[in-house]
């Protein structure tokens, strides 16, 4: 059985092929469709309820009309550069500017002015003290009386406008026309005429408000310019006066033309002379240093400053001539000769003259050096004085320049403000509107809402959708076992058989306990035969079979199943049915056994013999061992060695022993009994017992040493499964309950077809 189950277990999603994935997706869609079919009347009811509710609300809603006025923006004509330069700075343009205008149209200021212009407080919808009409009041569920009394003080126009604005502001909408400078201003109202008139009022109010705002801006700019002009004029007068006072105080007429040019020329001339004087002083100083150094024992005649002097050159020539003459006479005459003596005297005179000339030139060089130095110092003094004069003039010129620049700036500012004032005066007469109405709003012929047909259709769709959603949610939250596939997929256990739901006349236990005998051709009897076949096939080589039948909780039909399964086995095998539920025995009542009959507890305790504890079942070869007297502690009796010995003794007598045990979730008797059985049949109620509870019970049986033969899905509604699931019609289509299948079972297991 375990191998078969493993082979039929669903594959892991990680190893699904494309075909298996498609089959799984189709199976999910089929499950959704089955859920919808199963709850179709509830879904239809919710859909009709949604339709009725939508229809009631739609007919109770107040009709709302809307009308739109179309305006054309002309921002270029309304642009006023002079004021924007002063106040607005960089102005938004294009799409951003249109969005800005849309917000202005829907602003509180424009809407309130439009309310005041249309005098909406005189309209019945917005009259003071008029209650707001709601859907509930139109349906007659609630009513809101007027809050105005005779003692209320009359409200001012501003108070009336403020009280009306919250109800009116939300009905105004502004939309742009794509690809153009057009915009539509619409208003929604229960009054068709009011929707058109107020839309026109908003458009006109917006245009008038823009003109008024720009007119006020122009006037404000003009006032500001006048104030600034007076201030600038005062600054101009002060700067001109300060300039004139500075010129008079410093005695300047044109310092840039005359004074500065003369002082500059003087400095330039003195600089030239000073350079020449420095050159002469340097030459004289150099010659003086050479003479002074050579005068300490050197020959001054070799110095360039002396040798190049004409007097020195003349004296040198005379000395050379006297020396040549003396040399010539010395060859002719002796030293004593008068001509020789005269020539020697002339040579000596020439040398004395040369020395005298050298001394004179040396003195002259010294005097020239001192003179050049004095001249240089004088020129430096003159240059310093001239520079001081120029610096003084430059400082005065800087101050004068500052004063003149301030005067010029003030004069330019004065001229600019004066020109702006002149332009502002002209702008006051050239105001053009920022927009104009090109198509006024017209009275609509039909309301835009409620759209009754659309609302009713949406109500039907929403109701149907909610019904489908609740149906799917209910099935997803329903954790009971509905089909045999649920048993195998959720419990991971093989399905032994599926017992159909019995009719009302078959519900009485005295009838259901003997349904296999009384109605052998019924679907229920065929399901019992299927379970019997499964039990016999699980242990073909076993000399005896001890089968334990249990469930999770009471009321799942395990006792009825135990009785009918035992009757089915009794047709072919020597069978014993034991009622091991010693706390709440039910088999005796189902088979109409007299109360107080001796049974299992008496036999195990030794208070009665086996013959006294066995009861034959009328109409069958089945033997029954009732629960007997209720012991103080049934669990201790089942755990005793006497129970083991008694069960072994019964096994030697009977081929099949069916034990009906208490539910697993109430007591531990089933876990104890499962260790003595060859297999355990777990009965669960279809669409009644949560599968986590069943899974927990099976795990407890396994921990007790029991082996699960299979699960019996009891009280299964075959007709409902045929309608919603479409895979259980075989109970009627394929001959269950006919002589053909019943005869086959009878021949295979020795049953009487009748």
In this predicted model, what pLDDT tens digit does every residue of 132-162 receive, in sequence order?
555 445 544 444 444 444 455 678 888 888 8
- Average per-residue pLDDT for the chain: 77
In this predicted model, what pLDDT tens digit does every residue of 735-752 receive, in sequence order?
344 343 344 334 443 444
CB 73 within 8 A of CB 435: yes
Domain boundaries, given as residue ranges, for the chain: 2-60+450-477, 255-411, 493-749
343-354 average pLDDT score: 81
* pLDDT recorded at residue 92: 45
Residue 500 has pLDDT above 80, yes or no: yes
What is 493-749's CATH topology?
Rossmann fold (3.40.50)
Q: What H or E segment, with its residue span, contains residue 616? A: strand 615-616
Asked which of 91-95, 105-109, 345-349, 489-493 is least confident by mean pLDDT, the reply is 91-95
- CB atoms closer than 10 angstroms to residue 702: 14
Q: Report strand pairing: 435-439 vs 65-73.
A: antiparallel
DSSP string, 241-260: HHHHHHHHHHT-S-IIIIIH
CA distance 669 to 661: 7
* pLDDT recorded at residue 27: 61
In this predicted model, what pLDDT tens digit does every residue of 436-486 receive, in sequence order?
888 898 988 888 877 778 888 888 899 888 888 887 787 677 777 877 888
CB 360 within 8 A of CB 309: no
Cα dihedral sign for 533, 535, 538, 540? negative
Instruction: Provide the 8-state DSSP code for 683.
Output: E
Residue 207 has pLDDT above 70, yes or no: yes
pLDDT higher at 407 or 634 = 634
Best CA proximity match to 711, nearest among 581, 561, 568, 580: 561
CA distance 104 to 178: 19
* pLDDT recorded at residue 551: 93
CA distance 228 to 240: 18
Residue 270 has pLDDT above 80, yes or no: no
pLDDT bin (cut points 50, 70, 90) of residue 395 is: low
* pLDDT recorded at residue 712: 94
CA distance 366 to 360: 10
pLDDT bin (cut points 50, 70, 90) of residue 713 is: very high
pLDDT bin (cut points 50, 70, 90) of residue 575 is: very high
Beta bridge partners of 656: 545, 575
Taking the CA of residue 357 as centre, how many other CA atoms within 13 Å lie in the half-sphere pointing to its CB?
A: 22
pLDDT bin (cut points 50, 70, 90) of residue 661 is: very high
Sheet architecture: strand order including 182-189: 172-176, 182-189, 65-73, 435-439
């Amino acid at each position: 059985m375990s191998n078969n189950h493993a082979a039929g277990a669903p594959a892991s999603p990680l190893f699904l092929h494309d075909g298996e994935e498609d089959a799984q997706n189709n199976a999910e869609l089929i499950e959704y469709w089955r859920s919808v079919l199963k709850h179709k009347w509830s879904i239809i009811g919710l859909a009709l309820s949604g339709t009725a509710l939508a229809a009631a609300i739609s007919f109770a809603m107040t009709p709302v009309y809307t009308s739109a006025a179309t305006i054309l923006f002309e921002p270029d004509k309304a642009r006023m550069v002079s004021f924007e330069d002063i106040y607005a700075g960089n102005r938004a343009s294009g799409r951003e500017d249109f969005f800005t205008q849309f917000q202005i149209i829907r602003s509180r200021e424009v809407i309130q002015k439009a309310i005041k212009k249309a005098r909406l407080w005189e309209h019945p919808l917005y009259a003071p003290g008029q209650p707001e009409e709601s859907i509930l009041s139109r349906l007659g569920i609630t009513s809101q009386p007027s809050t105005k009394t005779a003692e209320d003080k009359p409200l001012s126009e501003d108070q009336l406008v403020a009280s009306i604005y919250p109800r009116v502001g939300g009905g105004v909408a502004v939309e742009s026309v794509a690809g153009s400078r057009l915009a539509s201003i619409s208003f929604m109202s229960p009054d068709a005429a009011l929707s058109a008139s107020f839309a026109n009022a908003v458009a006109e109010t917006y245009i008038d408000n823009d003109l008024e705002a720009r007119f006020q801006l122009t006037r404000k700019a003009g006032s500001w310019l006048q104030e600034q002009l007076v201030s600038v004029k005062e600054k101009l007068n002060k700067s001109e006066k300060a300039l004139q006072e500075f010129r008079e105080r410093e005695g300047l007429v044109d310092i840039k033309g005359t004074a500065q040019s003369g002082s500059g020329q003087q400095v330039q001339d003195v600089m030239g002379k000073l350079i020449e004087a420095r050159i002469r002083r340097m030459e004289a100083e150099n010659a003086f240093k050479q003479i002074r150094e050579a005068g300490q024992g050197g020959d001054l005649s070799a110095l360039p400053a002396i040798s190049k002097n004409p007097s020195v050159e003349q004296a040198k020539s005379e000395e050379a001539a006297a020396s040549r003459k003396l040399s010539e006479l010395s060859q002719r005459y002796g030293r004593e000769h008068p001509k020789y003596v005269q020539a020697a005297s002339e040579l000596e005179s020439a040398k004395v003259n040369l020395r005298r000339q050298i001394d004179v030139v040396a003195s002259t060089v010294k005097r020239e050096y001192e003179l050049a130095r004095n001249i240089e110092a004088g020129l430096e003094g003159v240059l310093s004085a001239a520079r001081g004069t120029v610096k003084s003039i430059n400082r005065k010129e800087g101050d004068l320049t500052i004063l003149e620049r301030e005067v010029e700036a003030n004069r330019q500012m004065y001229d600019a403000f004066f020109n702006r004032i002149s332009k502002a005066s002209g702008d006051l007469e050239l105001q053009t509107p920022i927009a104009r109405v090109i198509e006024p709003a017209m009275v609509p012929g039909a309301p835009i809402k409620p759209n009754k047909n659309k609302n009713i259709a949406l109500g039907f769709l929403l109701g149907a959708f909610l019904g489908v959603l609740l149906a799917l949610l209910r099935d997803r939250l329903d954790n009971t076992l509905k089909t045999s596939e649920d048993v195998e997929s959720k419990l991971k256990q093989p399905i032994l058989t599926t017992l159909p739901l019995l009719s009302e006349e078959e519900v009485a236990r005295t009838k259901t306990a003997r349904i296999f005998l009384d109605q052998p051709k019924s679907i229920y009897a065929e399901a019992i035969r299927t379970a019997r076949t499964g039990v016999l096939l699980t242990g073909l080589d076993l000399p005896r079979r001890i089968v334990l039948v249990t469930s999770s909780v009471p009321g799942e039909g395990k006792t009825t199943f135990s009785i009918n399964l035992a009757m089915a086995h009794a047709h072919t095998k020597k069978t014993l049915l034991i009622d091991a539920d010693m706390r709440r025995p039910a088999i005796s009542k189902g088979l109409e056994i007299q109360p107080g009959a001796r049974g299992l507890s008496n036999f195990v305790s030794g208070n009665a013999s086996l013959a006294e504890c066995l009861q034959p079942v009328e109409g069958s070869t089945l033997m029954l061992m009732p629960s007997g007297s209720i012991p103080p502690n049934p669990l201790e009796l089942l755990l005793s060695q006497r129970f083991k010995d008694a069960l072994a003794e019964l096994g030697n007598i009977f081929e099949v022993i069916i034990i009906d045990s208490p539910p697993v979730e109430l007591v531990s008797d089933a876990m104890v009994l499962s260790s003595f059985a060859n297999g355990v049949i777990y009965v669960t109620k279809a669409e009644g017992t949560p599968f986590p509870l069943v899974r927990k019970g099976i795990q407890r049986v396994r921990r007790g040493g029991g082996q699960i033969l299979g699960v019996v899905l009891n009280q299964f509604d075959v007709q409902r499964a045929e309608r919603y699931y479409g895979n259980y019609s075989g109970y009627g289509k394929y001959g269950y309950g006919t002589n053909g299948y019943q005869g086959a079972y009878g021949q295979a297991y020795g049953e009487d077809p009748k």
